[in-house]
Amino acid sequence: MHATASRLVVAELAGRLRDRIDEIADGMVELTYGKIEFYRTMVVTPADLHASLCRNVLGTINHLADPDSPAISLDSPTETGRLRAQQDAPLPEVLRSYRLCFRYFWERLLDEARKDGGEAPTALLDEASHIWELADVYSSALTDSYRRTCAERMVELDRRRSALVGELIDGPSSGSDTVWELARMLDFPFRGSFLVVTAVGLTSDEPPLPGLDARLRALDVASAWRAQRGSETGVLSCPQRQPVDRVLEAVRAVTRSRVGVSPLYDRLDQTGRALRYARVAAESLPPDAADVRQLDDAPLTELVMNNLETTQRAVHRILGGVLALPEEDRTTLLATARAWLEAHGSAAEAGRALYCHQNTVRYRMHRLEEFLRGSLDNPRIVAELSMALDAVGTFPMLLERHQAPHDA
């Protein structure tokens, strides 16, 4: 029997099934729910599955019933892939359902051929490779649509979460969601343990913290991110039991640029303040650094952050003469001053910390005193020195030479 004749026979068999589409779909639904556990969770309802199967079966029948049909319409499997992706149905289970249902459809065709007898079963077998090829074509169309929809949903979710992070950072605008509502939509607690992480100085399309999401998930840390030109900022929700050091290690392991981390904070409505700490921490790193820095939540830190320029002028007024020394001399005097202050003015204790004689400490402190605005016997001068050293210890860029516009 010629192929064209076989196709005509199959067209006749398929045409008879058109009036039985509801009955065939019912059998497929029963088979699917009986064989595949996922469908019994009712994420996909029987009515939904029945309607989808009717569309797919009708498309297949229409193609087979027209011997001159050049190609099958893929609208039905494309729509099914989109719907199942939106329902978060697992793709392997959806494809398994397709295979089961196509086999069921083949058996119904075979039943019709056996009823006819004669050459009908042989004609159906002659066209079997073409019919089963349709199953592959349908499955491929469904898979492409499913994956495309998942990708679109991920982009949309990223955009949505990015907008929510923006609301947290900038503060809810008039008429927008409250911080409590933002927390709910991000699946964050309103009260908890949070960090803000910001990466700055980005110069390429590569992610600044590649692989961080997987590392954070391993630590049970949830995160949401906002990407902007030249920077990326994330809010991290940490479990109470998770040490912050482990989270910082995860960030440090993937860092490719300057990364600042805020102090730990416990309410989401403090995110804007925490971001200021993270930004200043990142900007205090050298421009070409690939490192992570976290600032302490100390009164002096906040005071300096509020006006870096004023603090820089104050530092240069207090330490100006010292800062003009050669680097080695400057570093030695500043390190000695820090040790002396930490030792509460004891040259002996400072000497032990610096591995030098106490007389060396006294000599260096007398030399430092020549550059200060008074004697170290004056508590006000000691307070100024302590403030200046704490400031430059937290913000090394304050040591850079700076001339305010009105000082020119």
Tens of pLDDT along the chain (408 residues) come to: 444 788 888 899 999 999 899 999 999 999 999 999 999 998 999 999 999 999 999 999 999 988 887 778 899 999 999 999 999 999 999 999 999 999 999 999 999 999 888 888 898 888 888 889 999 999 999 999 999 998 888 777 777 788 888 888 876 554 445 888 888 888 899 999 999 999 987 666 667 788 888 899 899 999 988 888 778 899 999 988 778 889 999 999 998 888 999 999 989 888 988 998 898 888 878 888 889 988 876 666 666 666 677 777 888 888 878 888 888 888 899 899 989 988 998 999 999 999 999 999 999 999 988 888 888 888 888 888 888 888 777 777 777 654 433 333
Strand partners, 223: 236
In this prediction the pTM is: 0.57
According to the model, what pLDDT value does residue 252 have?
Answer: 92
- Tell me which residue of 307, 288, 284 sits closest to 296, measured CA to CA: 284
Phi, psi of 290 (to 5 degrees): -125, 80
What gap in Å lies between CA 240 and CA 250, rounded to an integer? 17
According to the model, what pLDDT value does residue 195 have?
Answer: 94
According to the model, what pLDDT value does residue 2 have?
Answer: 43
Q: What is the pLDDT of residues 224-274, one digit of tens each?
A: 888 887 788 999 999 887 788 899 999 999 988 889 999 999 898 889 889
Q: Which residue has the tokens 């459809």?
A: 105
Which pair of tokens denotes residue 337? 């001053």
Contact 139, 36 (CB under 8 A): no
N-terminal to C-terminal alpha carbon distance within the chain: 101
- Tell me which residue of 184, 244, 182 sits closest to 219, measured CA to CA: 244
Which pair of tokens denotes residue 356? 């030098």
Q: Residue 286's CB: how many other CB atoms inside 10 A?
A: 11
SS3 307: coil
Q: Which residue has the tokens 């030249």?
A: 230
According to the model, what pLDDT value does residue 377 have?
Answer: 87
- Tell me which residue of 1, 52, 24, 29 sits closest to 109, measured CA to CA: 24
